[in-house]
Structures are given as C-alpha cells and as structure tokens.
Structure 1
C-alpha cells in the first residue's frame, strides 16, 4: 500500500502548476492536475474506479469555474483531485462527502503553493545576480533548485496526509453524529452546483441560453431522456438561435 501512496503523492507533484515535466502546465496542471483525470488515476491505482470517478465528477463540477490568473490559486485543484479521492477510497467514505472534504484539502494545497512562491523569490533574485556576471551555470542552478523545493514541499506533505489520513478519517467519521453527517452530505451536494453556476455566470452572456440549459436539465431529470441526446439537441437549438439573431441584427444595420 505504501508504494501506491507514493505514486499518488508523486502524481500530486507532477500535476502541480509549477511542475515542468509534462509539456509545462499544458500536460501537467491542465491535464494531470484536473480533478476528473486525477480521480481516474487514483481509482486505477487503488482499484476502485467507480467510486473514484464518482468523487471526480463531484469535485470537477465544484471547481469547474475556478481560474488561476497569474498563477494565483483560490483552491489547489491538483491536491484536491488526488488527495480527496484517495482519502475517500481509503477511508471507505460516502463519495457525497468529497466536496466537503475537498475544501480543507484545497486550502492546504494553496498554503503550500504560497510557501513555495515565497521561497523561490530568493532563487529568482539570485539568478539575476548570476546573469549580471554572465554566470550561465549559476543561472541554470537557480532554475533547478526551485524544482527541488517544489517537489519536496508538495510530495512530502501529500504522502504524510495520505499515510496518516486514513485512520484519522475513519475515527472522525465514526465519531460524527448521523444528523451532522447528513448535513455535510447536503452541503457537499450544493458545492458542485455552485461551481456550475460560477461557470455559467462567466460564459453565458444572453439569458436565453440559461433557459435552454434549464430546459435540458428538466428533460434529463424529469423526462429521463439520455443526457447525450439532450446535449446535442441543446447545441443545435443554440446554433439556430445564434444564427437567427445574427441575421436580424445585420438587417437592422
């Protein structure tokens, strides 16, 4: 089991925003660091893919509207994807508790990331001084050492959380009264909806598209129609609406 935990902690480093190994942030943070992909990898490692994907869908929806302008992260979705999924599986928790557990895990990741940035400021200024002296080896060294710091401060805490978290969470869950556990599940179920709402607020410019989205939700939830068919129908309907409104605008001009 310790080997599996080491692999998960290593992936939590490789999917970080500062890890350069998989084509920079494209293959790292924006691929390995996505909660849905992270949960799938954790499910493969721990041998419980269905529960892992159930967790991944919830936390991906929860943070789907999160952006990182200038590498400033309100939550560390990479840590959330790997550690939350692993802790839920290892502690045999209800996946509905994952969004609630994701919040403190994400804040821990942000604290670590901010610490890394503060430490790496030293290396940046040191590299400037080496550059003024045309010391290329010194500049190269100042680019290598920050990755060692990044690895140490992300891999080691992740491994400790994974190693100690299982027993801690098992004891915590058994000590929580049933009504509080139910409350946490309800609150956790609301967080993915909040994430979807944030994304829609950024993307949707015309309110008519919210009506189309609501229509699709009603068709899937209450008419029990296949979600893929409804999504395609909504896409076609949106294209027709866009086409007709564009034509009307051009005629007015």
Structure 2
C-alpha cells in the first residue's frame, strides 16, 4: 500500500467516524461512509480492487448489522473494523474472511480510541461556555471548530499509520501462518456474521412467532431461484398486508365508542 492510498483511507476513516459533521452530519458520515459495506467499496476503489473490497465490506457489515449506537454508547467501533481491517486484509493479499477476523479485535481497540477522543473533546464545550459568558461569538465558533481537530488527528492519523505501516507486517503474518490457523480464520470469518444477524433478529422480532417469517424467507431463497431483490419486494408486500390487517380492528374499536356515544346523545335528547 502506498502512502497516498493510506492517506486517502485515513481521510475517509475520519469522514465516516462518529461525531464528524462534515459529510451531511451523522446521516452521511457515520451512517453511510462509516458503514463497512460502503467503506469496502471506497477502499476497493482506492486499492484498485473493487470486487474484493465490496465482498470484504459485505462480510464485515454482516458482523455488525445488528449493532446500534444510542447516544454516545458504542459497543464496538465499526470505523476501525472497516477502514483498518478491510484495507489491511486486502493489501496483504487476504480475503473477506481475514478482514472479518481482523475486524473483531480492531473494533475493540477502536472503541478505546473513541472514548479517548470524547474525553479530550469534553474540554471544548467549556471553552464555548466561557466565550458565551463574554459575549464572544467568534470564540464560540472557534471552540466548535477546534473540537474537530483532535478527532481528525487521532482518527485519520491512526488509520493512515496503521494501514501504511501495518500492511507489511500483516502480509508476513498471512504468508507464514500455518494452514490450520488460516482455516480457523476462514471458518471464523463465515461464522461471525451469523452473530450479527442473530443480534438483528433479536431486535427485529418483537414476537416469538415472527421467526416463522424469517424461516419462510430462508426456505424461499434456498429452494427456489428467487433473487434477494425479489424476496425483499415480496417481504415488503407481506409486511404491508400484515400491518393493514393488524390496524383494521384497532380502527373499528376506535370508531365503535364514538358511535355509541352518538346514539346515547340522541336517546337523551
């Protein structure tokens, strides 16, 4: 990996990190560029291997597909998992399975970096408060923009340095690793995404019987030639029918007391 490629990856890692406002806020940054699937495409374009980048991104995305980040609580740093795990694996000649295996420990290390950045940034709101007490509007703006500096230095800098300096080490490890260990990473890379889907199902299935809908989709994909797109359209139509059927009794129940009140009023008159 060249230094220029590492710099580009570092910049996108910063733009896709949490609390970065520059790319349409959280929507365009953390929730779009920061997703491993999109990161895989970006990394593939930078490294010149879009197909491998998208495949690795999809596998890492499956691992974290059920993760949510309410407020400042973040169970794992998807940014480091995507923008360091994927490029290290691809630049060293690895596959999506190796990217997933690297993503797990990197997401834990990245969480420590995120908490460190948030600790540093706690200083700047106080700077803005003091400027507000003085009526210094420029000072408030200054505190807001200065808060982005530690995040850029630590987030972009760490991704750039690890990708640039860590690629040779990762390549040596993959080339000299025993076949048994490589097979373990391959199996783990295929098993870990199942954990992500399990987390997603746990959040999505509000009632236990809804597992039948999941099994029905799995059977349709496995036993027919239906594509994922066709299944998604079919599932959307089924969900729409289900919601309409569930809402119909509620509408009738809400209308019934109103009708009764109207009849009582007429009787009293």
Using the size of structure 1 for normalisation, the TM-score is 0.91
The residue that corresponds to 2:205 in the other structure is 204
Tell me by how many angstroms 1:15 deviates: 1.0
**1:106-125 deviation line (CA, Å, top 9, x unaligned):** 12221111111111112222
CA distance in 2, matches of 1:219, 1:33: 32
Counterparts of residues 1-253 of structure 1 (less than 5 Å): 1-247=2-248
Contact 1:9 1:159 in 2 (8 A): yes
Tell me by how many angstroms 1:85 deviates: 1.8
**1:56-98 deviation line (CA, Å, top 9, x unaligned):** 1111111111111112221121222222221121011021222
CA distance in 1, matches of 2:57, 2:112: 22
Change (3 A) 1:249 1:163: same
More deviation in 166-175 or 36-45?
Answer: 166-175
Change (3 A) 1:250 1:22: closer
Contact 2:205 2:211 in 1 (8 A): yes
Contact 2:97 2:188 in 1 (8 A): no
Tell me by how many angstroms 1:245 deviates: 4.7
Q: CA RMSD of the aligned region, Å? A: 2.0
Q: Which runs of 5+ in 1 are unaligned?
A: none
Larger Rg computed on CA atoms: 2
CA distance in 2, matches of 1:244, 1:207: 19
Contact 2:96 2:189 in 1 (8 A): no
More deviation in 68-77 or 144-153?
Answer: 68-77
Q: Which runs of 5+ in 2 are unaligned?
A: 257-269
Q: How many corresponding residue pairs?
A: 253
Q: What secondary structure is seen at the aligned counterpart in 1 of 2:135?
A: coil
CA distance in 1, matches of 2:94, 2:58: 16
